[in-house]
Structure 1
Amino acid sequence: MQEVDEADVRWLVLLRHAKSAWPDGVDDQERPLAPRGRRDAPAAGRWLRDVGRVPDLAICSPARRTRETWELAARELGPAVPPGSPEHVVGGLGPAVPPGSPEPAAEEFGAAAPPGSPEPAAEEFGAAAPPVSYEPRLYAATAPALIDVVRETPAALGTLLLIGHNPGMQELTLRLAGDAVGDALERAEAKFPTSAIAVLAWHGTWSQLAPGRARLVRFAVPRGAKR
């Protein structure tokens, strides 16, 4: 795998909120997670931790179901792998991989968030939880609107997580992915269910993000076990 300067790679992680409930008389923005969603959201956090995609910053829609998804996922992220440790692998995005091939090993290119900006997640999630910003533009956002949000990411950050809604999350994935690992793009196009996660990467800066520029490295739908 071709080695690159870790500052040259940006990772964008898109998480659709977990399964929500539809209580009578409740405004759409106030709909809570359903029991299945409360199982799946922590599974999404564990998946991000296990593949080394703990974000430097999370930007979340202010809707209740997205906020609850983030809160439950954040508790499972655990400590990020620090650059320079034996687990920290610096690598390139690699050549195209034929459909059906196994996904590449996770690499961590994250950088620490600069002092100053979005407030950290709630205290009970522990010191390891990344900062989160609740951004009204993510609610019912179109793909172009989401790209505008992503382009505003501080240059020092390596990995950004967006927690939002469909169809925006699916549309953004399909618009940004110029190619993909294995059948990830086909699966994301066929269905982007609740708790789905798309991981995109590209060489360049956040402000340079444009349609077709990124590679869809992973697509997963973590599910929590029924108790």
Structure 2
Amino acid sequence: MTSTEPRTVRVLIVDDDPLVRAGLVMMLGGAADISVVGEAGDGSQVLPLVDRHAPEVVLMDIRMPVMDGLAATEAVRARPGAPEVIVLTTFDADDQVLGALRAGAAGFLLKDTPPGEIVAAVRKVAQGHPVLSPAVTRRLIARVADSEHDRRRAQARERLAALNDRERKVAVAVGQGRSNAEIGAVLFLGVPTVKTHVSSILTKLALNNRVQIALLVHDAGLLDDRE
């Protein structure tokens, strides 16, 4: 029998506070399967460091000088083969967090999140799973004033019109925070079929992950529908 080495997750830390960066480096350095490959003090340094070190996960502060975390997230996620981004913030109702999620970030963490949870989040995101549940997404959205509510709802519904009826039901179930197994049970589908529908939704709507599906469904107002 042959044994394989556990995969090491390559992480880039982006924060304008050197003490925060040092704390994160120390925290993640204690995990044998995680390697901090670079640090940046503002968003303008992110793309060159991504090119140089090829991280799989970027821990991205929101409020930084020169280029903030939202602009940096948009720039990173627009590239082919982009690393996953976890937004770091001290404000769980920061409207820029929503912007980062819509730009393709895999989730967000508060800076006072316990170390073990941050390490677990990095591992989870590296495996392709978001670290923000749709329920938390909805609470975040509800706390942010949005003067463009009607326009966003119309735009979201127009985008979702590209889905067929079954895909629409699956998208709503994702927005409700259901797992693939739970969606299958509710819609009488096998889990592989649910996965196929989720993949189709992501492709048709040009989305990166389930968090973005949940945001779009919420924006469309479908979580309040009783139809």
TM-score between the two structures when normalised by the length of structure 2: 0.27
TM-score between the two structures when normalised by the length of structure 1: 0.27
